[in-house]
Amino acid sequence: MNDARFRRPARLDQRAAEELAGESDPALRDEVAHTTARAVVHRARAAEDPAVVERLVRLVETEGLDAVAALWADAAPVSLPGALWRLYVLREWVRRDPQTVTLRYRLGVDAAPVHEAVAGVPAPPGPEDLRTLADAVLSGVYAGDLAVALERAASFCRILATGAAFDADAREVADPDGADRLTRGGAGLQRTAEELEHAARYWRSGALE
């Protein structure tokens, strides 16, 4: 089905985003986050238009990360807007620093074979393979099995977390501060993976709002 009203969905309302960035009512921010997330996801899935999906995958590139953050960054982690925000941040990291992400993935992948299978990245992975994964995950949100997309992203995060832990161990003596930062970053990735897995279960049960 092609919904002509949804032909140009990619641009967010910048004025609304700027207003949300101020000292607005937290309840209103939460309502707007959930309303916009539901509208974007459900209308894109109803449209069944590859061009719509492509524009939404590249949303940060056209609107900027700050505009997307103003809508969804403060949402609860296990919610539709919270999951979207984490997927866009993950994709942006891959896009901006593919070499580091590739190194972390290669360091972690052999210790996480189950998650490698779920993530679905060729071996050995190159930067372009990881960009393709990040795009495919977001495409799955808008035109596929959303729960599977969230699980792929979660497995990707778990592999990166494992890679960060190995990298931290290797740097412990020569660069203890850097090793500490990597350890904290790995813990954050592990937490994100858990949140995305919970979101996937909620979506399957019809409870992800």
CA dihedral 205, 133, 60, 196 (to 10 degrees): 30
- pLDDT at site 24: 59
- pLDDT at site 5: 34
Contacts of residue 190, Cβ cutoff 8 Å, sequence gap at least 6: 157, 158, 161
Q: Do 108 and 66 form a contact (C-beta atoms < 8 A)?
A: no
CA distance 192 to 83: 9
Q: Which long-range contacts (CB under 8 A, 24 or more apart) does 45-48 make?
A: 45/142, 45/143, 46/1, 46/3, 46/6, 47/1, 47/2, 47/3, 47/6, 47/9, 48/1, 48/2, 48/143
If phi > 0 it is left, if psi is from -120 to 50 it is alpha, else beta; for residue 174 that is alpha
What does pLDDT average to in each consecutive run of 10 residues of the chain (209 residues)? 35 43 70 94 92 94 92 95 96 93 89 69 81 92 93 92 90 86 92 96 95
